[in-house]
Amino acid sequence: MRDFSFIDLNIMEYDEVLTLQKSLVQKKTNGDPTDYIIFVEHFPVITLGNKSSDLNMLADRGELAKNGVSISRTDRGGDITYHGPGQLVCYPIINLKNFRTDVRWYISKLEEIIINICLKFGIQATTKPNLRGVWVGKEKIASIGVRITKWITYHGFALNANTNLSHFDLIIPCGLSGVKMTSIQEITGNIVDIQALKEITKESFSLLQVKIQR
């Protein structure tokens, strides 16, 4: 069983955290054995992944500014998404050589972790065939977008807890027309204690532990 070093950044700008992720990736590339997991909430931002299309942006820059939302192009996989306060974003910076060198396995494990977190709130979440992320019925509660270099991961997943869901109306989330986003608060009717959510998430990362397979 491997131990993780959890880094809690509270709330921080997206680009600042991306810079930190890349610095940790470089450390691990240079031999740092520590596996890091970053917890953060971002100030309102729309991020464009390496498969994103401008057609999935529904608001112009004026409307974004009016809503206090910035834009950031990034190098993660996937399409367009939104990050903001009340959303727990998790960035594992780990070496898959210590786990399993299988991208599909890794993404499915992240989905399993999210599903386990949702269960702690009495929410039955699932995956959908050929679609990344985690769903509750027809609504999406969490998005996944990763990048892996030399088997070292960065970026990760975003789980909607107390998120301002109206900001998703500014985009076509993940490029999936007609998809409605949801949150733990929306489903349960209760405001989520983010610190308690982080502790549940820490426990759920035990699901990532496997016998090393090379």
**Using an 8 Å Cβ cutoff, are 152 and 28 in contact?**
yes
Q: pLDDT 10s per residue in the chain (214 long)? A: 578 999 999 999 999 999 999 999 999 999 999 999 999 999 999 999 887 777 888 888 888 888 899 999 898 988 899 999 999 999 999 999 999 999 999 999 999 999 999 999 999 999 999 899 999 999 999 999 999 999 999 999 999 999 999 999 998 888 888 889 999 999 999 999 999 999 999 999 988 875 444 3
**Using an 8 Å Cβ cutoff, are 46 and 171 in contact?**
yes
* 174 catalytically annotated: yes
pLDDT value of residue 211 = 46
Strand-pair partners of 109: none
CATH class of 4-208: alpha beta
Name residue, tokens 């780990």. Answer: 94
Distance CA 56, CA 138 (A): 20
Residues 6+ apart with CB under 8 A from 97: 151, 212, 214
Catalytic member of 96, 174, 181, 184: 174
pLDDT value of residue 14 = 97
State CA 30 to chain mean position distance. 25
Q: Which of 128, 142, 151 is nearest to 181 (CA)?
A: 142
